[in-house]
Structure 1
Amino acid sequence: MPLPILVRMNQLQRICVFCGSSPGNNPQINQQAQHLGKVLAQQDIALVYGAAKIGVMGDVAKGSLNHGGNVIGVIPDFLKLKEVVHLGLTQLITTENMHQRKLKMHELSDGFITLPGGFGTFEELFEIITWAQLGLHQKPIGLLNVDGFYDDLLEMLQVMVDKGFLKQENFDLLLVNDEVEALLEQMKTYQAPVIEKWLKANRT
């Protein structure tokens, strides 16, 4: 009788969430953002995010804080001047610029989840997955595809694979689901591929 395969569970103590600072026009996205925050709090997973009190970002923070979760906000100093910062967080970290903000969010987190958003959200997602591709980290990266928001993006990524610009194994670094709980399970059981690390953090 074959021995059972033991799956190592990732210890996700803190998850960084990338998402829009705008609310968008689909209430389902805002509801799922709050649900994600709630589930993170219920599973005793701290939320790391961009510290805004507005938009989808504010919804995630609200969902966590309303259920006793720990929420760590990371924001560059110049954005605090625009009065968008959430002052009711567990911890607020201020950085000098956007790049330091992303480095700090990466440093604090055991995994990443991307919700719907705009250019900034896309930039954060693609930078963190590029770092994984280059072997800078082995943390799980999840895409919460609320109401098919990312269907077209996923189709474009498949075109990149088909045209030889993206390796399938790198596409597979992105864990996709439309349900919060199911995505977290994927992240907990994620096994990172062995990638030779040739780029150091100080060269990013």
Structure 2
Amino acid sequence: MVAETEPKSVCVYCGSSSGATPIYSKQANELGRLFHELGWRLVYGGGTTGLMGQVAIGTMGPDTDGAVLGIIPNALVAKEREDGKDVEIEIDVDVEHHKGSTPISDKFGRTIVVPDMHSRKRMMAEESDAFVAMPGGYGTFEEVMECITWSQLGIHNKPIVLFNIDGFYDHLLELINHSVKQGFISEKNREIVQVAETAQEVIEKIQNYVVPEGRFNLNWTDEGHKHGPHHHHKEHC
């Protein structure tokens, strides 16, 4: 059982492919199951494939009564759905056979289709109280590193957790620690990103997150901040 806590919206960055071993999909589904148990809302990149599909279907629960918000650019929506045809939902997708686009389905929660990647990233940040990065590829790396940078710059102070399934992020953590040793990241800012080895630990890291001291004290309230993650922006549905 998971301890009771107030409902949260958690943004999960992860691969739209399933990875080389079943442990990734299993842990993604388990994280979603814990979200469902807690009554937390998942915010993710939309679609039904790979780890994205697993965390979404886990959060929706066996009776599809969970809270899931998928945010996906129009270009990534499978063309079959755009043409109004039924599509076969595939959760497990091999990266070598992934076409880039993905079906969307009401069984995976509510989906908002936005015009572009910038709109997607901004809306995911605005809708979330915390951020989790599971295994993934270039997109996942880019999203979580930008999110960490936003915290360092003082744009947000929300929890950020690397879900280090089966040591997936060990090499990234080595790089971060090397950057600290070489004087490019401060010791205090190293604490911006927390690390969890299990789905249960992800929940605990979010619940117990302490905003590190030493982040940049910058003013993001000027006109340029309207493009940042806290500006309310009406998206196209």
Give the TM-score, by structure 2 length: 0.78
**What do the CA deviations read for 1:99-154 (whole angstroms, capped 9, x no partner)?**
11000000000001110000000000001111011001110001110000011110
What secondary structure is seen at the aligned counterpart in 2 of 1:51? coil
User: Cα distance, 1:58 vs. partner?
Assistant: 0.8
C-alpha separation in 2, matches of 1:100 and 1:62 = 24
Q: Say if 2:55 is the partner of 1:55.
A: no
Higher mean displacement: 138-147 or 10-19: 10-19
C-alpha separation in 2, matches of 1:56 and 1:197 = 36
CA RMSD of aligned residues (A): 1.8
What secondary structure is seen at the aligned counterpart in 1 of 2:154? coil
C-alpha separation in 2, matches of 1:42 and 1:11 = 12
Residue 226 (structure 2) aligns with: 202
C-alpha separation in 1, matches of 2:226 and 2:142 = 19
Q: Say if 2:104 is the partner of 1:86.
A: yes
User: Cα distance, 1:22 vs. partner?
Assistant: 1.0
CA contact (8 A) 2:7 2:39 kept: no
What secondary structure is seen at the aligned counterpart in 2 of 1:168? coil
CA contact (8 A) 1:12 1:188 kept: no
Higher mean displacement: 30-39 or 184-193: 184-193
C-alpha separation in 1, matches of 2:103 and 2:35 = 21
Residue 146 (structure 2) aligns with: 127
Count of aligned pairs: 196
Residue 95 (structure 2) aligns with: none
**What do the CA deviations read for 1:70-111 (whole angstroms, capped 9, x no partner)?**
110001111114551321233211211101100000000000
Deviant stretches of 4+, over 4 Å: none
Gaps of 5+ in 2: 80-100, 229-237
Q: Say if 2:173 is the partner of 1:154.
A: yes
Partner amino acid, structure 2, of 1:173: I
Residue 70 (structure 1) aligns with: 67
CA contact (8 A) 1:15 1:45 kept: yes
Give the TM-score, by structure 1 length: 0.89
Residue 92 (structure 2) aligns with: none
Distance change >3 Å, CA 144–CA 49, structure 1 → 2: same
Gaps of 5+ in 1: 1-9
C-alpha separation in 2, matches of 1:189 and 1:63 = 23
Higher mean displacement: 174-183 or 83-92: 83-92
What's the % identity of the aligned pairs? Answer: 39
Higher mean displacement: 192-201 or 138-147: 192-201
User: Cα distance, 1:50 vs. partner?
Assistant: 0.5
